[in-house]
Amino acid sequence: MTQDPTGSGAGAPPGRDTHVRPLGAVTRFDDALPLTVVLVRHGVTPMTEARGYSGSDVPGPPLSQRGRTQAAQAADALFRTGRGRGRRLWPDLPRATAIVASPLVRTRETAAAIGRRLGLPVTTDDRFAECRFGEWEGLTGVEIEQRWPGELALWHSTGTYAPPGGESYTQCGLRVWDGLTALADGGAGRTVVVVGHAVQIRTAVGLAYGAPASHWSRLRVPPASLSVLRLWSDGTSEVTVAGYPTDG
């Protein structure tokens, strides 16, 4: 499953437009089954509530009390996702059979709540960790702007600018897509829950849309929200849902 985080089209399968696609579902003329991936952002932490940039350079912080409530709400939403009786979310999707989490504390706590609700074990994958913010770790946007004027805007708007000691959106997207490719190679016709982070989820959705990296920061990914991707082995991808809120 090939993808181009820069949006240039380099490395894409012949005839595939990786830049901008029309809205709506992917039209296919075969019976090939996709891998469905439900991307879940973790619940809030004290850092989230303080509006600080919290990346993967440090393992914490843990969920706050509100974040634990949000994790339970996300777990309930996932329990109602897929085929089954009663009122369902996206009833055409297969029920989840695996949960993979970023190795950070907040995502493992969120994934544990989901695992308990779905009756599934949780594994971790470093490729789904949050973007590394380097010297910006733990700082608010105001503090970053004071110390590095104009650079935060470059990071959000170019997709290729990296903070000091950190990662750009493109660099983050390369490893995230590598993780998704590994999941797709593990078999189609199933649903995998991936518990991660705001920037990490934006890169996955942006790549699945075929949008250039400079556009990825425009996607809003609320805490404990769900985003649903469908990935085919030939590189075709579809965004079914982006940023569906489960909080409240």
Report d(CA 72, CA 113) in Å as an integer.
Answer: 6
Residue 139, both tokens: 């700082």
**Is 238 a residue of the active site?**
no
Identified catalytic residue from 109, 130, 137, 167: 130
Single out the residue of 235, 222, 181 nearest to residue 77, CA to CA: 222
Backbone φ and ψ for 203, nearest 5 degrees, come out as -65, -40
| Among 42, 109, 167, 238, the one annotated catalytic | 42
Question: Could you give the C-alpha distances from 147 to 135, 152, 164, in angstroms and in order?
Answer: 10, 10, 11
Q: Structure tokens of 63? A: 């969920």
* 42 catalytic residue (yes or no): yes
DSSP output for the chain: ----TTSS-TTPPTT---S---SSPPP-SS-PPPEEEEEEEPPP-HHHHTTB---SSS------HHHHHHHHHHHHHHHTBSSSSSS-BSTTSPPEEEEEE-SSHHHHHHHHHHHHHHT--EEE-GGGSPPP-GGGTT-BHHHHHHHSTTHHHHHHHHSS---TTS--HHHHHHHHHHHHHHHHHT-SS-EEEEEE-HHHHHHHHHHHHT--GGGGGGS---TT-EEEEEE-TTS-EEEEEEEE----
Catalytic machinery residues: 42, 130
